[in-house]
Amino acid sequence: MSSPQSLTHPEETATAPQPDWWHRSHPTFAALTGFFSGMLFVTAVPGGFAALLRLLFDYETAEKLFPLVTLALIIPAALLAKRKTRRFAQYMLIGMALTALVVLGVTSLVLYFMVRADG
């Protein structure tokens, strides 16, 4: 049931403070969300952009416009410029770089084994 104090002061219960130690610039929260945002950014943004171009334009036009996806790199650069989001952006760039490195490494290994098995 309600406490006696909440009955006399209902405005205190309506604006109960949220746990702000985790959500307000916590270093671990910023690092984790930045890293996984970078992973998602490097995989989902080019794929989504290609799908959107393919829906709107014919294949040749979509192929010519695809390099415009590099404009999406303005987002992490803008996050780096502002001091409040700099830590998030640093980990976002680390997530982007490591994801690209893993994708390129796996691709090169698959191509190597495919060529080796073919010859």
- 87 domain-assigned: yes
- 83 domain-assigned: yes
- 59 domain-assigned: yes
- 13 domain-assigned: no
C-alpha gyration radius of the chain: 23
- 7 domain-assigned: no
- 37 domain-assigned: yes
What confidence tens digit (pLDDT) does each residue in 84-114 have? 899 999 999 999 999 999 999 999 999 999 9
Domain count, the chain: 1
In this prediction the pTM is 0.71
Q: What is the mean pLDDT of residues 12-40?
A: 75
